[in-house]
Chain A
Amino acid sequence: MRDSAGFSPDFARGASSDVRPRTTTIAAFVIPGAIVGWVRQRTLGLVVVAAAVAAAVVALLGRRVQPPEVSGTWHPATQRRRP
């Protein structure tokens, strides 16, 4: 079970009184920091995904679509057909 700050009560229970405010202070900085980090990470992820999708679309559009394969090979035309 965790308190509203996200820490285990067991951790607070054994702590001295001068420690609790410090823990709260740490939590007050860590949680918003974690949220901001998560948002930033998510934004970064979205940017990375969007860039990858854009690159794939560009590559697909620019790809040279070749005519279908036909079985056969080229050989030197050593003899000309006379009409």
Chain B
Amino acid sequence: MRIALDQRSEVGTRAGRILLAERTLELLGLVDQNPSDEDDRLVRVLDLSAYDVLVTDAEDPSDVLAAAAEAGIPAVTWVDRPAAGVQAAVDAAVLVGANLGSAIAPSLAAHEAAGAGEGSPIDIVWTEPGRPLRRGHPSRFPDPVGPLWAAERARSGVVRRFAAPTQGEWAGAVVHVAATEHPRERIVAVADHAAHLEALALAAGALVAVDPAFEELRGVITVDDVAETFLDVVLGLGLEVAEWRSD
């Protein structure tokens, strides 16, 4: 596979290093940058159409998405749906929101929900940078994140989404499924270095986008559309999941 990386921050740098560890990677092209590492697979992008997918960690990826659309290749963005809109190639898709809150957390939730029974209430909580709250929805993340208060962000049927502001370099996501079948509840979570988790999500998005099944998709999609594939990929990249067991 050939992946073009538009790297603007630490997330993109880390995602690039994760992708370089993949044996199936033929080429990692850097957009508008010269590679500094001595890896034969690391090159500067000269022609985007020579790549299978474009990955970007830009907060405003509109310009690079336009270039990917022009080149006719799919794209993956770290940010959620960009404010400036998304331009996708006619016969390719753009996966938006390849990050902790919009990709890793919902993919965990989708997997747990599938085995929990119809209509089981699901709470999805993720951390985000900010001052910790003093009240709200109580959430318990694995160490080193620990317990945090979270604020509700969205609600869709039985699924509630929360964000827990926290300071420091650690981040996490928790999925609580109150199953209607046995076992009565299941809580799974991830916690790690914030930039690493974001990079894992972005790198996993890139690998999902080069999957043959992705070629059938068109337009703007989210991880909700490819949740199981995404979870398989991100687990393969080394994401470790914890499970809560009550005493």
Residues of A within 8 A of B (CB): 64-68, 70-77, 80-83
Contacts and interface: CB of A to CB of B under 8 A. Distances in A.
Q: Which 10 A-B pairs have the closest CB atoms?
A: A67-B138, A83-B114, A77-B243, A72-B246, A71-B247, A77-B241, A74-B242, A74-B142, A67-B147, A83-B115
Interface of A is mostly: loop
9 contacts: A64-B134, A66-B147, A74-B243, A75-B242, A76-B241, A77-B242, A80-B111, A83-B111, A83-B115
B184 interface: no
Interface string B119-133: 000000000000010
A77 B188 contact: yes
Contacts of B115: 81-83
A72 B245 contact: yes
B140 A65 contact: no
B246 A74 contact: no
A74 B111 contact: no
Contacts of B243: 74-77
Nearest to A80: B111
B30 to A, nearest CB: 34
What is the size category of the interface that chain B forms with chain A? 20 to 34
Given A77-B188, A82-B115, A71 B140 contact: no
A81 B247 contact: no
B135 interface: yes
A81 B147 contact: no
Nearest to B135: A65
A67 B111 CA distance: 27
Nearest to B132: A64
Contacts of B132: 64
B184 to A, nearest CB: 14
B134 A65 contact: yes
B138 A68 contact: yes
Contacts of B76: none
Contact of B245 (A64, A75, A80, A81): A75
Contacts of B186: 81
Contacts of B146: 66
A71 B246 contact: yes
B148 A72 contact: no
Interface string B136-157: 0011101100111100000000
Interface string B229-247: 0000001000011111111
Nearest to B113: A83
A77 B177 CA distance: 15
Contact of A67 (B114, B149, B240): B149
Contact of A74 (B135, B138, B148, B244): B244
